[in-house]
Amino acid sequence: MSPCRVCPRHCGVDRLSGRTGKCRTGSDVVVASYNLHYGEEPPISGKGGSGTIFFANCTLSCVFCQNYPISQLGNGNIRNIEELAGIMLELQEKGAHNINFVTPTHVTPQIVKAAALARTKGLSLPLAYNCSGYEDIETLRLLEGIIDIYMPDMKYGSDACARRYSGVPRYREINRQAVREMYRQVGNLEIDAEGIARRGLLIRHLILPHRLSGSRNVLEFIARELSPRVYVSVMAQYHPAHRAGSHAKLSRRITQREYDDVLKIAEELGLKNGWQQEL
């Protein structure tokens, strides 16, 4: 964090002195909320819920972000390392199946420090890294053996769309390198006898209108360069949130045909593990 190279932007600011880069985050961790979440994929939420911790701010600037009051406006409360560790232990006490770090990229060092402290106090749950998929490869390598479940987005098959709608360069290359590293570390999703994920990779792909997410490109990468056995969550929940209405191609929900076309591609490629939402 000093100079900062936690995310692929490598902005180099001294975050330990309180300066902020693109993520608008210094040395403090801002937690927007934490709770038992029942709306994740079935092996993540289970019956007891996923112990989600939502972090404010983000390394991306998605014009359609559905959580923009958190990710873009930074709503939340500052928590120190001890408090963050305490939140993990509280979620465990409430019966969570895992600790699910949502938008963790820019606060990864603080998360690791807090998780280590929580482990000394009895935390035994799997740790899930629920991220945009725009991750620094060196940071990911340092997470090997710490993170049990990776839940990255694969948002785009095109750098042009990523630059225009999420404000990031080289998304396709960086995202794929990151997902390869995640897969190397944890492999395919492992689900126990109770139907709960213990370890592995779960990729999320949100379908955008007008095929802006480049779904064929993304799904072909998963099937051919990772494995057809990788678990993929194909998501139909897009709606024009935040500033999406100012972009003509993002100003509506997806159509049934757009969604069915993506499901057909996944079937053609032999991607049989995972989930799909009802439109």
pLDDT tens digit at each of 279 positions of the chain: 999 999 999 999 999 998 999 999 999 999 999 999 999 999 999 999 999 999 999 999 999 999 999 999 999 999 999 999 999 999 999 999 999 999 999 999 999 999 999 999 999 999 999 999 999 999 999 999 999 999 999 999 999 999 999 999 999 999 999 999 999 999 999 999 999 999 999 999 999 999 999 999 999 999 999 999 999 999 999 999 999 999 999 999 999 999 999 999 999 999 999 999 988
User: For 121, phi and psi rounded to 5 degrees?
Assistant: -105, 10
Q: Find the domain containing 141 and state its range.
A: 15-276
Distances from the Cα of 43 to the Cα of 35, 50, 173, 190, angstroms: 17, 9, 29, 9
Number of domains in the chain: 1
**DSSP E strand boundaries for 94-239:** 99-102, 127-131, 149-152, 190-191, 197-206, 231-235
For residue 148, being part of any structural domain is answered with yes
For residue 103, being part of any structural domain is answered with yes
Global pTM? 0.97
For residues 38 and 243, give the distance between their C-alpha atoms in angstroms, rounded to a whole number.
28
For residue 163, being part of any structural domain is answered with yes
- Please tell me the predicted confidence (pLDDT) of residue 278: 86
- Please tell me the predicted confidence (pLDDT) of residue 18: 87
User: Which domain CATH number covers 185?
Assistant: 3.20.20.70
DSSP state of 202: E
- Please tell me the predicted confidence (pLDDT) of residue 165: 98
Query: Residue 4 in contact with residue 12, Cβ under 8 Å?
Result: yes
Query: Residue 147 in contact with residue 129, Cβ under 8 Å?
Result: yes
For residue 62, being part of any structural domain is answered with yes
- Please tell me the predicted confidence (pLDDT) of residue 263: 97
